[in-house]
Amino acid sequence: MRLTDFNTLTFDCYGTLIDWESGIHTALQPLLARLSTPLSRNAALEAFGTEESAQEAETPTMLYSGILTEVHRRLAKAWGVAASEEEHQRFGASVPDWPAFPDSPAALAYLKQHYRLVILSNVDRVSFAGSSKRLGVEFDAICTAEDIGSYKPDLANFEYLLRTLSGMGIGKTDILHTAQSLFHDHVPAKKVGLASAWIDRRHDQSGWGATPEPAEEGRYDFRFTSLGAMAEAHKLALEA
């Protein structure tokens, strides 16, 4: 299997293209500052991942901005600190402030020359519009949890993606799903028969961060430590 075997890249956004862990940790600072005992970055992110996954499972049709609002409320309760409704709402609206990984815009611009680029993300349309400006590329299709009514790793999200792309004349074997999260993306992608590329953004860190640990083995066909590394590998594949 080669990178050049595909004509469409479907992307998770947050954790893959957008540095959501930095964005989340920054947005949690007012809450974390009130803790009597400091919490490490990884511990805070893991707590976020637990609460986010639980909230998405409980309220699959809630907009992601609302999910984040409720996650902030849950974290404040779990950590035993007070927070105002305005602070909960501010965290819920923080997605457009989350930074892109430094390599994402240039890598996407290169990959756009060779593939259709598609988003499959646990996000709402308004929040993604802010992130899209940071990425600087026009995506050929955007599939959000708002459109689908559920959150990854629900297989319904991947089935919706496949139906959308089928309507564009894109078959399953044309697609390489490209994502950081084994839990949200690689496990379900394999269940629906998609090839996948793991962008292992946390390769130099321990633990799972803001992404829950997968309950089963996360299999993938390619592994890169950044999207820039994937773009470079594609250049080499063209020369081979």
Q: What is the CATH T-level fold of the domain 21-97, as seen in this structure?
A: DNA polymerase; domain 1 (1.10.150)
**Hey, where are the domains in the chain?**
3-20+98-239, 21-97
Percent share of the chain, pLDDT over 70: 100
| Residue 141, helix vs strand vs coil | strand
CB 179 within 8 A of CB 186: yes
User: Residue 189 to residues 104, 169, 212, 219: CA-CA distances in angstroms?
Assistant: 22, 19, 16, 9
Ordered strands of the 222-224 beta sheet: 141-144, 116-121, 8-11, 175-179, 195-199, 222-224
- pLDDT, one tens digit per residue, over 157-196 is 999 999 999 999 999 999 999 999 999 999 999 999 999 9
Using one digit for the tens of pLDDT, what is the confidence trace for 31-49? 999 998 999 999 999 999 9
CATH superfamily of 3-20+98-239: HAD superfamily/HAD-like (3.40.50.1000)
Among residues 5, 12, 97, 200, which one is catalytic? Answer: 12
Going by the DSSP 8-state scheme, the letter that residue 3 receives in this structure is G
pLDDT at res. 207: 85
Q: Are the beta carbons of 124 and 63 closer than 8 angstroms?
A: yes
Point out which residues pair with 80 in neighbouring strands. none
Q: Mean of the per-residue pLDDT values for the chain?
A: 95
What is the CA 186 to chain-centroid distance, rounded? 12
Place of tokens 């993604």: 128
Query: In the prediction, which pLDDT does 239 show?
Result: 84
Asked whether this chain's domains 3-20+98-239 and 21-97 adopt the same fold, the reply is no
Q: Over range 209-234, report the average pLDDT.
A: 92
pLDDT higher than 80, residue 240 = no
> What does the pLDDT look like over 65-118, one tens digit per residue?
999 999 999 999 999 999 999 999 999 999 999 999 999 999 999 999 999 999
pLDDT surpasses 90 at 125: yes
Q: Please tell me what DSSP assigns to residue 111.
A: H
Is 200 annotated as catalytic? Answer: no
